[in-house]
Structure 1
Amino acid sequence: MDADDNLQTVMGLIINGGNAKGAAFSAIKAAKIGDFEQADAKLKAADKFLAAAHNSQTDMLTQEANGKHAPVTLLMAHAQDHLMNAITFRDLAGEIVDLYKKVNDD
C-alpha cells in the first residue's frame, strides 16, 4: 500500500467512524423524544458507516497478511482508536434506544 492509499484508508476510518458515532448519538436524541422510527433509522445509518470502515480495515489487514506492511503512524493509531470508540458508542446507543422504548411502553 503506497502512502497515498494508506492516507486515504486512514482518513476513511476516521470519517466513517465519526459519522457512525454521530448517527448513533442522533439515534439516542431521537429516542429521548420518542421518535423511535428515526432512532432505528439512525442506528441503521451508523451500522452502514461502521461497515464501510470495517471493509477498509479488513483490506488493510489482508494486505498486511500478504506482506504489504503499512506504516504504523500516530494518524493510523488515531484512526483505529476512533473506530473502536465509534463501535462501542454504537453498541451503547442501541441499548439506550431499547431502554427508551421500554420506558415508553410502560
Structure 2
Amino acid sequence: MDEEKLNVIMKLIIDGGSAKSSAVEAISAAKQSNFKLAEKKLKEADDFLVKGHNAQTGLLSAEAANEYQDSTSLIMVHAQDHIMTAIAFKDLARKIIDLYRIINKMKGEK
C-alpha cells in the first residue's frame, strides 16, 4: 500500500476516534449540567468529523480516478468503520444532551 494512502487512512482512524471521544466528553459535561462545555465538545466532534470526511472524500476521489490500484484493505475498512461509528455516536450524543436539558428543566435547573 502506498505510504501516502496509508497516512490518510490513519488520519481517518485518528479523526474518527477523536470525534467519538469528544462526543463522550460532551455527554459527560451534559450529565454535570455543563451545557456550554457539552456544546463545545460537540463542535469539536464535528470539526474532527469534517477533517475525516475531507480525507475520506480525497481517498474516494483518488480511487474513482484510478490512482489507487490495490484492492480494499482491512485497514481501510477499519478506518471507514471509525468514521461511521463516530458520526452515529455524535448524533446519539446530541440526543442524550437534549434529554439532560429536559431533565434539568423538569428539576428546575438552568
The TM-score with structure 1 as length reference comes to 0.94
Question: What's the offset of the Cα at 1:50?
Answer: 0.3
1:44 aligned residue: 43
Aligned positions of 1:56-67 closer than 5 A = 56-67=55-66
Q: Who is 2:75 aligned against? A: 75
* Whole-angstrom distance in 2 between the partners of 1:61 and 1:75: 15
Counterpart position of 1:26: 25
Residue type at the aligned position of 2:13 = I
Amino acid at match of 2:41: K
Kindly name which structure, 1 or 2, has the bigger radius of gyration based on alpha carbons.
2
Deviates more, 1:54-63 or 1:69-78: 69-78
CA RMSD of aligned residues (A): 1.1
* Equivalent residue, structure 1, for 2:14: 15
Q: 1:11 to 1:36 in 2, by over 3 A?
A: same
Which residue does the alignment assign to 1:90? 90
Provide the C-alpha distance between the structure 2 equivalents of 1:105 and 1:11, rounded to a whole number of angstroms. Answer: 42
CA contact (8 A) 1:50 1:87 kept: yes
Q: 1:89: how far off? A: 0.4
**Which ranges of structure 2 fall in alignment gaps of 5 or more residues?**
none
Change (3 A) 1:19 1:70: farther
Aligned match of 1:35: 34
> What SS does the corresponding residue of 1:59 show, helix, strand or coil?
helix
Query: How many residues are paired up?
Result: 105
**More deviation in 11-20 or 60-69?**
60-69
Question: Could you tell me the TM-score, scaled by structure 2's length?
Answer: 0.91
Task: Report the Cα distance in structure 1 between the residues aligned to 2:97 and 2:18, rounded to whole angstroms.
Answer: 18
Q: Deviations over 1:32-88 (max 9, x none)?
A: 010000000000000000000000000111112212235311111111111111111
Gaps spanning 5+ residues in structure 1: where?
Answer: none
